[in-house]
Structure 1
Amino acid sequence: MWFILAKIFQGELGIYFARLKRLAILYVIMAIFGILLLAFLITALFVYVATQIGPLNAALIASGLCLAVMVGLWITTIVVRRRPEKRAQDRMKRDIASVAGTSALVNLPKIFAMARKRKAAAFLTPVVALVGFGIWRMLQGDGD
């Protein structure tokens, strides 16, 4: 933003936008030639396969590959199309599980030291560990 304001005050904004327009036109031309390059490569591959196994088989293989790509893209759009709230919930679950795991590892030496001093804590430590593991599995395993 400050760059454009500086260009306005210097009187170079028109020159800047003209340069951007030329660059945009060049990028569009490069994209068109890139698409043509890809089309010619696919055509060359089709001709090569057709000479090896016949035109009908090559057409069937090419159509099968196109169908597989379309199905793959369709599945990808279904996976990506999740609601932002759902993605935020998943992120929150991962963060909570990470914090819980980190705090458990940090406090592990204190728990073992307490268990050595008190014999009742030696019985309580596995119970606390099982409860913590159950909470962690609940946060990790909720796949709906």
Structure 2
Amino acid sequence: MLGQLITKVFTGEASIFLARLRQMAIIYALMAFVAFFLAFFLIVSGYIWLTQTVGALPAALYFAGGCAVLLAILYIVLLVVGRPPKERASDRLQRDVASIAGVAALANAPSLLRSVKRRKGLVLIPVAGLAVWAAVRAYASRRNTR
């Protein structure tokens, strides 16, 4: 937007641009005002409906719990957004490496399938690993239920 303003200053259309920008700001402020009341009345009507359905005290407790959950979610979002740029760059790098590994795996899939077609015994290795993993999971879940 700043680039557009600089361009308009050089071409002599800055006053038109600023007038349009002011009109848009006023409209957005009015929309935010109406959206606030929309959300407020939706919450109030939800509370009234819940009060008629389950009673006043449980409805108040449900809404307090919902607000607590929203507060926790917003706090987590604040922590994620407030992380230093180095950590966010590291996360992006990890995602990029994972996507490159996925692309490499898909690119090598035809050659892997050809080698499996030639040597059918290669299929037994992942099947055996899956069977061992399933047996360990079954044994661990059975052991935990006793």
- TM (norm. structure 2) is 0.58
Structure 2 unaligned regions, length at least 5 = 112-146
- Aligned 1:95-114 pairs, distance under 5 A: 95-96=96-97, 99=100, 102=104
| SS in structure 2 at match of 1:60 | helix
- The 1:100–1:17 alpha-carbon spacing in structure 2 relative to 1, beyond 3 Å, is closer
Cα displacement (A) at 1:69: 1.0
| SS in structure 1 at match of 2:65 | helix
Cα displacement (A) at 1:28: 0.3
Match of 2:14?
A: 13
Cα displacement (A) at 1:60: 1.2
- Aligned 1:129-140 pairs, distance under 5 A: none
Cα displacement (A) at 1:3: 4.7
Task: State how far apart, in whole Å, the 1-side matches of 2:55 and 2:43 are.
Answer: 16
- The 1:44–1:84 alpha-carbon spacing in structure 2 relative to 1, beyond 3 Å, is same
Cα displacement (A) at 1:37: 0.7
Cα displacement (A) at 1:14: 1.5
Determine which structure has greater relative contact order: mean sequence separation of CA pairs < 8 Å that are 6+ residues apart, divided by chain length. 1
Identity of aligned residues (%): 37
Match of 1:65?
A: 66
Match of 1:78?
A: 79
| SS in structure 1 at match of 2:92 | helix
| SS in structure 1 at match of 2:83 | coil
Cα displacement (A) at 1:2: 6.6
- The 1:47–1:9 alpha-carbon spacing in structure 2 relative to 1, beyond 3 Å, is same
Structure 1 unaligned regions, length at least 5 = 110-144
